[in-house]
Amino acid sequence: MSVVTFKCPNCDAELTFDPETQRFVCNYCQGSFTQTELEAGQPASASDDTAQGAEAPTVSADTGAAVYSCPSCGAEITVDATTAATYCFYCHNPVVLAGRLEGKFMPHKLIPFKISREEAMERFMAWTRKKWFVPKHFFSKKQIEKLTGVYFPYWLVDCDVAGSLTAKAERVRRWRSGNTEYIETSHYMLTREGNIHFEDVIKSALKKANKGLVESVQPFQSSDLIGFSMPYLSGFQAEKRDIEREELQQEVVNDVNIYSRQLLLDTVQGYTSVTPLNSGAHFFNENWDYTLLPVWVLTYQGSNGKTYYYAMNGQTGTVFGRLPVSFGKLSALCGGIFVILSAILLIAGWLF
């Protein structure tokens, strides 16, 4: 398995991608480079374990987990079946498992991180401060430092459909003449047809991902999509897809049918009531792009054994989270309210 690090052209230290500047930076000599400059200077350094005579990564037949050698310090690191980029847990240098992003698993596109780790931490603290009953430990420095930038794999689907809709409608007219009220009900059969273009219908391509987490940080803005380039993964974690498009085909068809039906229904105006009867969508010009999208993730193991997730869209800042509740804080508040109410009632009884 090819294990890749990206080196600074000036001092040969590891480079990472900086979301704030959208450049590749060296934390040692403070060098800063664009992707074009990296390609021109050929700073990337690839280490192939087998070619260097080191022991080839061992892969578990049951889980797909692999053991690789860090090209910086030589430590052996174990990663699971879908990890494509991570840090060495010993020297903390970023590494990319390039062999997992080759051939059919080479992503077509990605959106680079736009929100830096520092900004993500600040937004996280601002968000949690609004929650009164979060356990104190959740705000600890040790906990917040677990915030991790991860490129999650998705399928983005573009397609054209020929949509159709039939519905029945009613138009009710009321008027009064003298003491008599009249009601006229007219019945209609409606037909709507049209060609509709859909862009970036999004589906998660990772089985182990928390469904609520990866869906709730959407949408992403497709204007920032670029062709996949491996250096953008440096300094972040990345996951390889393990869901193929064939497994998601029917979900996409169902979603597009629903969207098409609603769009056609929205063209019906001027009726008192409309009842859809049948709808359909014939696909053509269908295109699937395997894409990596940026998400900041934090997990917390509660005292009840439940795992809580916090996630932020690494491009737009959209937040999703379910936070634990400190029953100690909740009990203290309820106790305080009880004492205050008891005092008020006691004073009221003494006065009256």
Is 298 among the domain residues? Answer: yes
Residues 176 and 272 in one domain: yes
Residue 185 pairs with which residues in a beta bridge?
Answer: 172
Which CA distances in Å does 62 have to 59, 69, 81, 339? Answer: 9, 21, 10, 59
**How confident is the model over 194-211, as pLDDT tens digits?**
999 999 999 999 988 777
Is 347 among the domain residues? Answer: no
Is 33 among the domain residues? Answer: yes
**How confident is the model over 318-351, as pLDDT tens digits?**
888 766 554 444 444 444 444 455 555 555 555 5
Residues 242 and 304 in one domain: yes
236/148 Cα distance (integer angstroms): 7
**C-alpha dihedral, 222 to 228 to 230 to 233, nearest 10°:** 20
* 232 — pLDDT class (breaks 50, 70, 90): very high
**How confident is the model over 32-57, as pLDDT tens digits?**
888 888 777 653 443 444 333 334 45
* 221 — pLDDT class (breaks 50, 70, 90): very high
Q: Would you state the pLDDT for residue 61?
A: 46
For residue 139, the SS3 value is helix
pTM across the whole model: 0.78
Give the mean pLDDT of 65-72.
72
Is 141 among the domain residues? Answer: no
339/304 Cα distance (integer angstroms): 29
Q: Would you state the pLDDT for residue 265?
A: 94
Q: How many domains does the chain have?
A: 2
Share of the chain above pLDDT 70, in %: 76
Residues 44 and 160 in one domain: no
Running DSSP on this structure, what letter comes out for residue 56?
Answer: P
Q: Would you state the pLDDT for residue 19?
A: 93
Give the mean pLDDT of 142-165.
89
In sequence order, which ranges of 44-98 are alpha helices (DSSP H)?
A: none
241/244 Cα distance (integer angstroms): 8
39/250 Cα distance (integer angstroms): 40
Q: Would you state the pLDDT for residue 18?
A: 92
Q: Would you state the pLDDT for residue 137?
A: 59
Residues 158 and 102 in one domain: no
Q: Would you state the pLDDT for residue 44?
A: 40
| Nearest one of 240, 225, 267, 259 to 86, comparing CA atoms | 240
Q: Please compute Rg for the chain using Cα positions.
A: 28
Least confident range from 133-142, 181-190, 258-267: namely 133-142
Most confident of 72-86, 87-101, 147-161: 147-161
270/163 Cα distance (integer angstroms): 22
Is 118 among the domain residues? Answer: no
Is 160 among the domain residues? Answer: yes
More confident position, 3 or 318? 318
Neighbours of 332 (CB within 10 A): 12
More confident position, 296 or 84? 296
Least confident range from 19-28, 125-134, 252-261, 314-323: namely 125-134
Look at residue 66 and tell me whether its pLDDT is greater than 90.
no
Is 38 among the domain residues? Answer: yes
Helix (H), strand (E) at residue 78:
strand 76-79
| CA angle, residues 170, 176, 179, in degrees to nearest 5 | 135
Look at residue 146 and tell me whether its pLDDT is greater than 80.
no
Residues 194 and 318 in one domain: yes
Residues 76 and 206 in one domain: no
Residues 72 and 172 in one domain: no
Residues 95 and 157 in one domain: no
* 131 — pLDDT class (breaks 50, 70, 90): low
Domain with 79 in it: 2-106
Residues 100 and 197 in one domain: no
Residues 79 and 176 in one domain: no
Residues 174 and 40 in one domain: no
Is 134 among the domain residues? Answer: no
Amino acid 64 reads G
Neighbours of 322 (CB within 10 A): 14
Most confident of 89-98, 118-127, 250-259: 250-259
3-state helix, strand, coil in the chain (%, to 5): 25, 40, 35
Residues 75 and 176 in one domain: no
Q: Would you state the pLDDT for residue 130?
A: 63
Look at residue 167 and tell me whether its pLDDT is greater than 90.
yes
φ and ψ at residue 62, rounded to 5 degrees: -80, -45
**How confident is the model over 99-127, as pLDDT tens digits?**
788 888 899 999 999 999 999 988 887 77
